[in-house]
Structure 1
């Protein structure tokens, strides 16, 4: 029975059904030469049945992976077993336009595929039938939901003002890295910093100005750190940076880079130019820190020492590293 064209030997209702059904039907022989092709395929592929009959499926759709598809169809051909493929495994088998190319956000039709063997009178598989289901709307809906879930996940991890990690998530990462470091014994340092005389900024210029200053320092932190570093806003005007594969000496270089950049930065707010400095404390991991909190407290103490030393300075923890 030919599909998509007028056929002799089949009733008009059968032909009408096959032509109007909203499922693609493609029949090929075991060499993947096209024999049948219904109206759905004609409408969405742009090929009439007369254009494709007798041609290899792989010449009509040149992006089809021939070796992959033949392997996928092997159970149908050799064991007379249906094969199914969903769009999550492969977005499409036949690259075709969506049913609504103007209004749909999809670049192509997402498809679920059923592959059925067709037997000859002697019971051997002589043809393969592909049923093509347009699941673009379902795929788009699922991806939108997954995208929203990912955004919610990111929001739950990120501080809204600075776009650095928030304290809760940073603490989780810090404790995880602490456990990994005990096993790996690789150098790793934590750096704590805060903005000097920040209360004075708020009292003089207002909290919006204070927020602008915090955002300015967070940008300097992002610029000074690597993708593998874990930077977060610990609270108020205080920041923390975990620096994997970094000794205290190298962490000091990072701290100085941020300190010098902050010293040169003027934050403009409602006509005022606000200058600030930062102080920082650094602690490299060592065996003396049996708990994550002890390690963090060492960096905090170094920060406190930097404040007492006159601010606008970076100090490394004096805890014995032997």
Structure 2
């Protein structure tokens, strides 16, 4: 063997050793996802996702948690470059006793016309820190910016307004008579918060020092605005200010303040960020990762304050036939229309998401099996009554759904998902275009 061949062999051996020992998962694939080379860390991270223990194809292994990868690669027209950067994937549905679901991030690089390189990392701890930093940043932002455009509201132990001041009138237009004694949900649209969620906000404020959320708020005249609402406990609990216009809480009872800020001017930037990180690329509703984050948080709340939590899984009937008969653009149009109907049918407080190719999920906090089944059937009927127009062709499709309600949060999200999936399978086996329920877990 010549010196040149020896040098090449040595470099190849060094490359293999690097791939083997690299602190991140590395995999080389074809453009269709067939795995050519994979290091042990990547195999360890991906193996739990493989349904049959086979890691022959990266896209197939990641289909349950990142169904958009094939499309992203297919749509990437450049001869080489970065297809996606640190796309996050939640790889489990919440296992009882596991405090934090595992989060992976994948970066895909197109090397040339034939090859892809995937870089896979476990970012579970990083995601935890980001959530905490986001909350801290929002807290300091509420204090240091826009300080003249806020409403400061005093609340009692039940979250009811006990004091009115000019700032409430300035931001929301509500008079003292309208808000005193009312729960602070009066500042939210009717379908944006439940009584259980209101109590959750108080408990989270007790546990963490504050509880903050952004979303639609409502003024006295019914006009909506994009607002940030922060609940913080008052450490001095014996009384509120001497100028209170309603009785102060009893000594020793918890008391809170609610700060509402109109951040409508920041909504566009926030929405762009949300679309980039938490929304499905095709339909615009929540993606799989955002769904599982929200669902695990909701079940944590339910474990502290028990309530019924329902889940609906929907699947478009005979979706492959739609693609085969009319083409993939028509299939995409069907999925987009379904996402629009889902958003119009369910409440703001519900979590509506695309979790697979033609599979959608809706988590309904504080909702019984009967109520969830009723709204699922309402959506099914709306779908059956409409068509999708694509290039002058009317496409009719139907929907099947499985509904489950988790009575015991200790069973975890995984149990709830399996229940709903069994019900969905039963709906399809019974002829499709129907909703089937499972009682409890």
Q: TM-score, normalised by structure 1?
A: 0.53
Match of 1:174 among 288, 295, 303: 295
Q: C-alpha separation between the residues in 1 aligned to 2:299 and 2:403?
A: 15
Taking the aligned partners of 1:156 and 1:171, their CA distance within structure 2 comes to 13
SS for the counterpart of 1:235 is: coil
Inter-CA distance 265–180: structure 2 relative to 1 (3 Å threshold): same
Give the Å deviation of 1:162. 1.4
- Confirm or deny: 8 A CA contact 2:303 2:409 kept in the other structure: no
Cα distance in 2 between the residues matched to 1:230 and 1:302:
19
- Residue 354 (structure 2) pairs with residue 229 (structure 1): no
User: Match for residue 397 of structure 2?
Assistant: 276
Contact 2:306 2:409 in 1 (8 A): no
Distance 1:249 1:204, change over 3 A: same
Rounded Cα–Cα distance in structure 2 between residues aligned with 1:314 and 1:289: 26
Distance 1:294 1:204, change over 3 A: same
Shift of residue 188, structure 1, vs aligned partner: 1.6
- 1:195 equivalent to 2:316? Answer yes
Cα gap change, 1:191 to 1:146, in 2 (>3 Å): closer
Query: Paired residue for 2:370?
Result: 249
**3-state SS of paired residue (1:311):** coil
Give the Cα separation in 2 of the matches to 1:163 and 1:90.
34
Superposed, 1:109-188 pairs within 5 Å as 148=269, 151-188=272-309
Report the alpha carbon displacement of residue 288 of structure 1 after superposing the two structures with TM.
7.7
Structure 1 residue 278: Cα displacement = 0.3
Scaled by the length of structure 2, the TM-score of the pair is 0.39
Of the candidates 375, 383, 408, which is equivalent to residue 262 of structure 1? 383
d(CA) in 1 for partners of 2:385, 2:329: 21
What residue is the counterpart of 2:337 in the other structure? 216
Return the alpha-carbon distance in structure 2 between the equivalents of residues 273 and 218 of structure 1.
18
The Cα offsets for residues 35-93 of structure 1, whole Å up to 9 and x where unpaired, read as: xxxxxxxxxxxxxxxxxxxxxxxxxxxxxxxxxxxxxxxxxxxxxxxxxxx875448xx
**CA RMSD, Structure 1 to Structure 2 (Å):** 2.3
**2 CA distance for matches of 1:223 and 1:198?**
22
1:285 to 406, 419, 437: 406
The gaps in structure 2 that reach 5 residues or longer are 1-143, 150-263
Secondary structure of 1:280 counterpart:
strand
Distance 1:165 1:87 in 2: 29
Q: Which runs of 5+ in 1 are unaligned?
A: 1-85, 92-142
Once the two structures are superposed, residues 18-41 of structure 1 have per-residue CA deviations (whole angstroms, 9 ceiling, x without a partner) of xxxxxxxxxxxxxxxxxxxxxxxx
The 2-side partners of 1:88 and 1:309 are apart by 57
Matched residues, number? 184
Shift of 1:318: 4.1
Q: Secondary structure at 2:411's aligned position in 1?
A: coil
Q: Residue 273 of structure 1 aligns to a residue in which SS?
A: strand
Q: Hey, what's the Cα distance between the residues in 2 that align with 1:305 and 1:274?
A: 25
Instruction: Single out whichever of 158-167 and 169-178 deviates more from structure 2.
Output: 158-167
> CA distance change for structure 1 residues 295 and 147 in 2, over 3 Å: closer, same or farther?
same
Distance change >3 Å, CA 89–CA 205, structure 1 → 2? same
Query: 2:254 corresponds to which residue?
Result: none
What whole-Å deviation, never above 9, does each CA across 1:264-306 have from its counterpart, x for those lacking one? 1111111211100000001111228612111111111110110
